[in-house]
Amino acid sequence: MNQLYQKGMTIKSLRTYFAPYFVGMTCPTANKFFLFLLAIISMQGIQSVRFLYTWFLKRMDTSGCLNSYYYLMSQGKISRSLLNQITVRIALSCIPEEYRNYPIFLIIDDTLQPKYGTHFEEYQLMFDHACHNGSNYLNGHCFVGLVISVPVEVEGKLRYLSVPVGYRLRSRDENKLELAANMVEQAVQEFPTETKAILLCDSWYPKGAIRRLVSSDPQLELIANVRVDTKLYDLPPAPTGKRGRPAKRGRALDCHLDFNLHTQVGDYLVGTRKVMTNLFPDPIFVTVTTHNPENSSSYRIFISTIMPEDILLDDQELETLCPEIPEADRNRLLPYGLYGFRWAIEVIFYEQKTFWSFGKYMLRSKNGIESYVNFLAIAYSGVQLLPFKQKKYAHLKVASSQVKKQLIGMAIQQEVFFYTFVLSIENRIKSLALLKAYEQWVEEKHNF
């Protein structure tokens, strides 16, 4: 393999990109970890770890056996938290200097993965609100995922690039809020001191451990959907001068009656105001939306711990981020517009399950399953971020993650084929002409 690192341009480039992940690993562990990432990228469909070993790893690692890769994931001393932090570090390094003032998003959500077998650790019956299998219940696993979305430049224009940071498999006795809060806290540690992150989540997460984390971390703000029955209060009234403790909040508000729903955004009527809640001690900014004021079930409430005026963007930057919001209301409705970036995590869940074999793990232990899905996340993030880290792949910036995976995977397969082919020639024929042709092909190969 060492010779291929030197001669195979694509594999050498990937080795350079993934090098930060190898810190703290022994050389054998780092090599096996890197080969596993190459196998994920180069194989268009993964049926199991055994499948990867049979069709790729066995050719690349003649000294290793299948059990060594099972051991790498289930028992290997690889810190998944450190791997997640390195992904955040690489993503932040891709932000151009001129986009440093744009917001950076961290997105959390959970996803269910059905499994048809009872021998997996943490296999359980779970409530499925989406009824993926026609039932409200699903047998399998629950994964809590974290995604980072950063501003990058593509063909001279601003674009947000979203990549998965990592996943955690929830045990029966673990709380999803605490798992998510732990992942977010570790990610924020990689942010520069003056840089803030905006956490985006649905109505399940703005409570418990997440609420406490947002309240205590000055680098973290929250924009979230909340339950429609969340208690909202008017701002504290002015001091009356009378004896006694001043009121901490005003009268209770009704989202149906106390918000002026006059602004039209798409099919929705929108109203905003600053309010007090039981969630946070300080005032927050609330947006109420409905597509039918007469139907109480159509109302939605969005909260933001950061005020619109504190998001320092000029008119052109506001238009770039929220083009669907009317120009006159962009400043006021900015938090509501930014919430739309939460959809990126749903896209990543879909792509990883459909094209990256997310649910094809045949591993019984919790450690093994978590390692597998986190390796997938690192490989996915790698093909997405590689064009922004190495100029050689800059032409792939506009391509989808599936196209990048296919092109880079084909290049890996070509280099592996030529490498093994030449080794066979060296051992049998000693054909100098073929060896020279191989060397020339490697030197002239600049693109896929």
- DSSP annotation string for 214-270: HHH-TTEEEEEEE-TT--EEPPPPPP-S-SSPPPSS--EE-TTTSS---EEETTEEE
* pLDDT on residue 312: 78
Please, which pLDDT band fits residue 263 given cuts at 50, 70 and 90?
A: confident
* pLDDT on residue 434: 55
Taking only the tens place, the pLDDT of each residue in 332-384 is 889 999 999 999 999 999 999 999 999 888 888 999 999 999 999 999 999 99
Place of tokens 């992942």: 183
* pLDDT on residue 419: 66
Mean pLDDT across the stretch 88-104?
Answer: 93
Taking only the tens place, the pLDDT of each residue in 385-442 is 999 999 989 999 999 999 999 999 998 988 887 766 655 555 554 555 555 655 655 5
**Per-domain boundaries in the chain:** 2-69+399-444, 80-231+297-355
Mean pLDDT across the stretch 90-110?
Answer: 93
Taking only the tens place, the pLDDT of each residue in 54-88 is 988 888 877 778 899 999 988 878 889 999 999 99
Helix 27-42, helix 366-389: angle, nearest 10: 70
* pLDDT on residue 369: 93
Top-confidence residue, 115 or 379: 379
* pLDDT on residue 138: 85
Report which residue type is found at 163: V
Report which residue type is found at 93: S
Token pair recorded at residue 394:
């800059």
Mean pLDDT across the stretch 218-234?
Answer: 94
CB 110 within 8 A of CB 144: yes
Model pTM?
Answer: 0.89
- Whether 245 shows a pLDDT value over 90: the answer reads no
* pLDDT on residue 128: 80
- Whether 242 shows a pLDDT value over 70: the answer reads yes
- Cα 154-160-162 angle, rounded to 5 deg: 115
* pLDDT on residue 248: 85
Cβ neighbours for 154, distance < 8 A, ≥ 6 positions apart:
397, 398
In 3D, which of 216, 219, 213, 225 has the Cα closest to residue 255?
Answer: 225
| Cβ count near 325 (within 10 Å) | 22
* pLDDT on residue 437: 58
Top-confidence residue, 445 or 90: 90
Place of tokens 């006159």: 328
Mean pLDDT across the stretch 187-209?
Answer: 92
* pLDDT on residue 441: 56
Taking only the tens place, the pLDDT of each residue in 18-58 is 999 999 898 989 999 999 999 999 988 888 889 999 988 88
* pLDDT on residue 436: 61
Taking only the tens place, the pLDDT of each residue in 318-343 is 888 888 888 888 888 899 999 999 99
